[in-house]
Each structure stands twice: as C-alpha cells, then as structure tokens.
Homo-oligomer: A and B are copies of this chain.
Amino acid sequence: MERTAGARKRMMKMERKSSMASSYSLTPKEDIIKLAKNVLEQIEKLENPDIKLPIRTLSNIYFDEKQNLIRLGGKMSHRTYLNVAHTRKFMQTLMVAAECKKIIDQGVTISIRDLYYALKRTIPETKENTFEEQEESDPILEDLEAALNTLRERLHLKADRKGYLAGPLMINDSGDEIDASRMGSSGWAIPSNVEPEIIKLDSHADFVLVVEKDAVWQRLNEDKFWRKHNCIIITGKGQPDRGTRRIVNRLHTEFKLPVYVLTDADAWGYYIYSVIKQGSINLSFLSDRLGTPQAKFIGLTTQDVKKYNIASNVTIKLNQGDIKRTHEMLNYVWFKPREWQQELKHMLEVGYKLELEALSSKSIRFISETYLPDKIAKKDFLP
C-alpha cells in the first residue's frame, strides 16, 4: 500500500476541507497559558485570584430557535482563591489546566481516569489529597472545556468510543490512509478524538444514515446498503459517544451531506435523535460542534406499523415510565413541530412502542430493501 500521487492529492484536498472545520482563534495550549497568565497578573497586583467560568446549570441553558440548538447562555460565575468554599476547586482547576498543558507538550492523549490518577497526590505535610475521587476531577475538566470554549479532545483527553461507520469515505488518521468502503464486516472504528487536526476526511457520499443499533448497522453493512445508495452508515451503539456525534457534525458541515437518523420507535430512540440534532443539556457548551440541527428523522415511528403492515404481536405495550416520558417530551420545545406532536400523541393513543428488529418479522432484508429506500424516495421524514 504505497502512497501514490492520487493519495497525496487526496490528502491535500482533505487538509483544505478539514481546515474549514476548525474555527478557533487560539490553540488550546495558548488558551491555557492565557488563563494562567490572568491568574498570575492578579497575584502580582495583589488581587484575589479569580477564574471566570460559564454557569452550566439549567438556569443558564436555552434553546436557540434560530440555530435549532441547545445552548449555554452568557451567565458567568467566579471561582476565587481567597474564598474557603472555592479554594480547593480553584487549586484543582489550575492543576487540571497545568496537566493538560503538560500532555499537549508531551504529545500524549490520556483518559479522564488517567487524569485523575496523574493528579491524585497527598499535599506535602498534610493528610489532604488533591483529589479524592474521579467524580471530583471530571466536572473540573468540563468547567475548563466551557471556560476555554473548547473540546476536551483538543486538550488531549479522550472520551469513551464505541461508534462504527462504513461507506464512500476516505480517512487520513495521522498519516494512515483508511478507506471506509474496504473495511469488511467491521467498518471503521470511530476514535474518540476526530478533530480536524488529526482526522482528515474526504467523501463523495450523497447522505449520512445514523443508526441507533449496531445489529441494524451490521445488517445494512452486510447488504452493502451504503454502496447501493452511495451513503455513509454510522452507528453509535445506543446514545452516540462524542466522537460519533462530532463525525456526523463534520460530515454535514464539511460535505453538506443530509443526515438521516434511524432509531427504535420509543422515547429513548426519539431522545437519541434529539441529542444528535440539537445537542444535550449536559454538553450544551459544545452543541455547535456536536449537534447537527439539519438532521432529519427517518424512522421508526408508531405510525409505520400501519403504513408497512407490521404484525401487532411484535409491538411492545408502553409501560408507566414510557407514558410519563412521552408526556414530558410533548412539552419539549424541540418536539413542538406538528409532525412530532402527532407522532407522540399517536404513540400514547395506540399504547405501544416498537424496536427496529421488529421489521425482521416481515423479512430479514425488509429494512434495507423496502423500508429505508421507500422512506427516502417519499422523503417521509420527521423534522
């Protein structure tokens, strides 16, 4: 597998494309240095050292109806050194920032568990530990991400990964060229850090199909659905990890690919869709990098049962939790569009939900040969 002239040309094109995806004014290292310099200047002026952090509670989160994204508002909190309630967290924030700078300098990527262990120590001449549990270091890292308006991946920290994709997509990962249409039965494993600095992409696909379940993804991959429909198929194995959401966002942003999402017809599936589309409350400060507001919902819906004549004995009766959750969802801003109100009310009315595998009761290839092509041809999507 030598590098050919074609591969070099492709690489240059990927570089150009990928540069569109990064819109940061400073590198993460420069961001950390700036934060540290601020603290230092305050100390030199004999001021109380103070780090400004965006408030990440519900009170500062709103739905941006123009962009269709869950966003973090502008309210800031202060973490000051000379406040006994803040001192410990102030120290921890600087420790986490310093460790991030260190690993960036060393060119290594670590997990959030490593971060905790790397920073856990007993403060000399005391019995006090810098961190007691990982539950202490995790939120500090999120504070730092929000304060620096960056992704932890850019700070060289990796999150869990569990996504796969296949289709007409060329990937260049630190020099290794990977062809996602030649990855056999497994597909390309989506890494946790898919930032454009590391992962360059090139694709001529027509659309992206995100599938909730790996078993369904494997069905589509085995049937070479992506080849027949010139698309990229992606699964996040349930609620997608950050890397998977970011790849969906990049494929849409860089290649203008329409994104369709396929989940079970239940509250959990619809929630997964909403997170892919407009981001989540927890990571609201990252919505513009992890969310894809133009995504559309291709199915499954409870209304499909009649449309596709699905046997009633493969539907599942809603339980009390499902009913409560569906009522809640009826009130979410992002489920306000008429079509979603109709679907959620229909679900309550018929009193059942159903899984993607229920389509196997028609025939094993029904999903890839009939259901999906039909939905796409008719543009039968929910917004």
Contact with B along A114-152 (1 / 0, CB 8 A): 101110111000000100000000000000000000000
A361 lies within 8 A of B176 (CB): no
Contact with B along A217-250 (1 / 0, CB 8 A): 0110011000000000000000000000000000
**A203: B residues at CB distance < 8 A:** none
Known contacts: A103-B364, A158-B215, A314-B120. The answer to whether A184 contacts B176 by CB under 8 A is yes
Instruction: Identify which of B121, B129, B187 contacts A189 (C-beta below 8 A).
Output: B187
Instruction: Identify which of B106, B177, B198, B311 contacts A185 (C-beta below 8 A).
Output: B198
Contact with B along A149-179 (1 / 0, CB 8 A): 0000000001011101000000101111111
The segment out of A19-27, A77-85, A279-287, A352-360 that lies at the interface is A352-360
Q: By DSSP majority rule, is chain A's interface helix, strand, loop, or mixed?
A: mixed
Instruction: Identify which of B114, B162, B164 contacts A364 (C-beta below 8 A).
Output: B114
B313 lies within 8 A of A122 (CB): yes
Alpha-carbon separation in the docked complex, A74 to B106 (Å)? 58
Alpha-carbon separation in the docked complex, A214 to B251 (Å)? 26
Q: Is A113 at the interface (CB under 8 A from chain B)?
A: yes
A160 to chain B, nearest CB (A): 8
A174 lies within 8 A of B185 (CB): yes
A1 lies within 8 A of B118 (CB): no
A225 to chain B, nearest CB (A): 13
B188 lies within 8 A of A186 (CB): yes
Alpha-carbon separation in the docked complex, A286 to B254 (Å)? 47
Point out residues on A near B: beta carbons under 8 Å. 1, 103, 106, 108-111, 113-114, 116-118, 120-122, 129, 158, 160-162, 164, 171, 173-179, 182-193, 198-199, 214-215, 218-219, 222-223, 311, 313-314, 355, 357-361, 364-365
Other contacts beyond A113-B357, A186-B189, A189-B189: 13, CB < 8 A: A1-B182, A108-B222, A108-B364, A109-B222, A114-B215, A114-B364, A117-B361, A118-B361, A120-B313, A160-B214, A173-B184, A173-B186, A175-B184
